[in-house]
Structure 1
Amino acid sequence: MRKNMVNLLDDVQLGSIKLFCLVAKLGSFTAAAHELGITPAAVSLAVSRIEQRLGVRLFIRTTRQIRLTDIGQQYFEHCQRAIMYITAAEQLIVNEQVIPSGTLRLSVPTVYAHYRLLAKLPLFQQIYPAIKVELHISDHNIEFTDSPFDLAIRGNNLPDSGLIAHKLEDAQLIIVATPEYLHRYGCPSHYDQLINHNCIQYQLPSTNKRVPWQFLDQNRYIELETNGCYCCQADFSATHTLVKYGGGLMQVYRFCVEKELQSGELVEVLAEFAGVTRPFMLIYPHAKYIPLRMQVFIDFLLSQRITFK
């Protein structure tokens, strides 16, 4: 018997344990049987199965009453706690499928966090106050298999990776600089002239490579390596700050500099060669069941796409 003790409990054994606890609480096989609508013999058999499996006596039976043995009392106390924990766990899961709650873990690039996502989260929290959002704001791509994240936002088309992906928007890339910089060094009229300018570089942490600039020239896609005395790593938004303080030219997402363009603090250059876009995608792994907190966040973010454009 004892060699089977390491086996996982099956449904029959769990049912027997619940019957045992009910008998112990009521102090009667007959009373337990009456409450469950089964025969006293069925209750007695369930308890006997446990005793045989454990190799101990759980009850001392007389013609008038039953009472727990010392080992039976210890077993009862442990089983009661276990049943309480199982019941609480099941109730928690049921509640989460009715009222969205719990912690949602999201990985998002720095630029998208600061210029798109963070402004939307207070509204999401007002709608779903029981959901906590943990943010990993970094340009270092996470892998779902190696991390506890539920969702991620990525800027670029994804290879066929088995992930579910929803496009949030196509973000346009443009070249900008301050009026002061352009007055001092001149305004390029063609991307070939960028060789004479200080072009702020950005290096991707995932590849350790500098990001080339991209242009459309009469429907031809042009990718150009640029040079400059500044190279920012890990935080794309740092290039935005450098541009605003006259550090040079930079290719940025239009949504990052809309306010500065409207105020005249920054000026768009080489506009005739603009038009290249990069998609931002909301991604997550395939799963048979999606927690409600995750589903409502997906629905919320997709509903906000119109305001991203």
Structure 2
Amino acid sequence: MESLKGMTAFVSAAELLSYAGAGRVLGVSSSAIAKSIARLENELGVRLFHRTTRSIGLTEEGMVFYDRCKHILDDICDAQAMISSTRLRSKGRLRVSVPQIFGHNLLMPLLPRFLKEYPEIELDIDFEDRVIDIIGEGIDVAVRSGELRDTRLIGHRLGEQHFVVCGSHYYLEKHGCPQTPSDLLKHSCIHFKYPSNGLLAQWSFSSPNTHLNLPRNLIFNNTDAGLRAAIDGLGLAHLPVYVSEPAIKNKSLQPILTEFMVPLGSLSLIWPSNRYLSPKVRDFVDFVIDAVRSNPSIFEPKFV
């Protein structure tokens, strides 16, 4: 058992290149990680890490040992998960990380039904737009945009993100309806600012001059505020389809420039790559996938 604990500490430190990081993931102190690895090195008679005052790195022997330990620990986790999934209900803490827009507009409406179906799961949700280290930060499941490049993770693509420019009928009657993206230069524009870094979200179009220096009449770090401002006739907003669609359906907003819409990258569910998912992760993943499938207009705009 001590050897197993030592291998677990070693693999975590090797993946994070940090004793402190490994300690946070495993719930122990960095000194406990260092002692476990020192015992392993004494037993093996080799150094597993190069150490400086600021960093650690695997030795050649450490890289070979890491590959073997990783396979052993993965097999143990898989066996445990396979046995547990046949007899355990979904329960316990589930750490989820989602982008702010997705979380507020798509995940929040689903939570009452999920918690009713799985009352023993303790959801711990981070609304984050920054780049996160899923394994290093102990996240069970995340929703993120773009391509998945980390081989330690598995992803399931939910769909392509579509954004649409829209305005109220009052605004368009008063100021006219833009016919091309460059016409937006003459209009009041409502922008979204990412809370994590203060950068403005880009308005992209399938035409020349797609990156326009648009007027910045209103800037919000919340899409609900931008939606409300557009409905109130304060300007034109560039909103995700799943945010704007209800207001478009009830005629509070009118979509414009739809022939110039382009997908702005895909959204995916991602999680650490154990072959057998724990029941709580599996049930959350399946729940979100089923919810998206039952409402295809989330990612497939019907007004184009």
TM-score (norm 1): 0.62
Q: Secondary structure at the match of 1:188?
A: coil
Which residue pairs with 2:133 in the alignment?
Answer: 143
Matches within 5 A, 1:60-139: 94=84, 98-139=88-129
Gaps of 5+ in 1: 1-6, 11-89
- How far is the alpha carbon of 1:127 from its aligned partner? 2.4
In the TM superposition, residue 307 of structure 1 has moved relative to its aligned partner by 2.1
Matched, 1:231 2:219: yes
Name 1:287's counterpart in structure 2: 274
Shift of 1:249: 0.8
Distance 2:209 2:150 in 1: 26
Matched, 1:184 2:161: no
Partner residue in 1 for 2:156: 166
- Could you tell me how far apart the structure 2 residues matched to 1:297 and 1:221 are? 41
| Aligned-pair CA distance for 1:110 | 2.4
What is aligned with 2:45?
Answer: none
The aligned counterpart of 2:289 is: 302
- Does the CA-based 8 Å contact 1:201-1:226 persist in structure 2? no
Query: How many matched pairs?
Result: 218
Contact kept in structure 2, 1:116 and 1:308, CA below 8 Å: no
Provide closer, same or farther for how the CA distance between residues 9 and 199 of structure 1 changes in structure 2, counting only shifts above 3 A.
closer
Q: TM-score, normalised by structure 2?
A: 0.63
What SS does the corresponding residue of 1:215 show, helix, strand or coil? coil
Q: Supply the distance in 1 between the matched residues of 2:2 and 2:150 (Cα, whole angstroms).
A: 35
Which residue matches 2:190?
A: 200
8 Å CA contact 1:108–1:139 kept in 2: the answer is yes
Identity among equivalent positions (%) equals 25
Task: Choose 253-262 or 237-246, whichever is displaced more.
Answer: 237-246
Q: Give the 3 Å change call, closer, same or farther, for CA 262–223 of structure 1 in structure 2.
A: same
Verify the 8 A CA contact 2:192 2:226 in the aligned structure 1.
yes
Q: CA deviation at 1:159?
A: 4.7
Residue aligned with 2:188, SS: coil
Contact 2:190 2:217 in 1 (8 A): yes
Could you tell which deviates more after superposition, 201-210 or 244-253? Answer: 201-210
- 2:266 partner SS: strand
Q: Which residue of 1 aligns with 2:205?
A: 215
* Change in 2 beyond 3 A, CA 1:94/1:276: closer
The change in CA–CA distance for 1:284 and 1:221 in structure 2 (over 3 A counts) is farther
Map 1:11-50; keep pairs closer than 5 Å.
none
Contact in 1 for aligned 2:85/2:279 (Cα 8 Å): no
Give the whole-Å Cα distance in 2 for the aligned partners of 1:194 and 1:221: 12
For the 8 Å contact 1:174–1:251, the answer to whether it is kept is yes
The DSSP-based 3-state class of the residue aligned with 1:115 is helix
Separation in 2, partners of 1:240, 1:97? 46
CA contact (8 A) 1:96 1:293 kept: no
Aligned to 1:153: 143
Partner of 1:35: none
- CA gap of 1:8–1:306, structure 2 versus 1, over 3 A, is closer
| 1:263 and 2:250 are equivalent in the alignment | yes
Aligned letter for 1:157? G
Give the Cα separation in 2 of the matches to 1:116 and 1:190. 30
Whether the aligned pair in 1 keeps the contact of 2:190 and 2:219 (CA below 8 Å) is yes
For residues 112 and 184 of structure 2, the distance between their equivalents in structure 1, rounded to whole angstroms, comes to 41
Greater alpha carbon shift after TM alignment, 123-132 vs 137-146: 137-146
Partner of residue 76, structure 2: none
Contact 2:93-2:124 within 8 A present in 1 as well: yes
The question of 1:247 aligning with 2:247 is answered no
Cα distance in structure 1, aligned partners of 2:271 and 2:218: 35
* Alpha carbons 2:190, 2:237 under 8 Å: kept: yes
**Matched AA of 1:187:** C
Query: 1:129 deviation in Å?
Result: 2.0
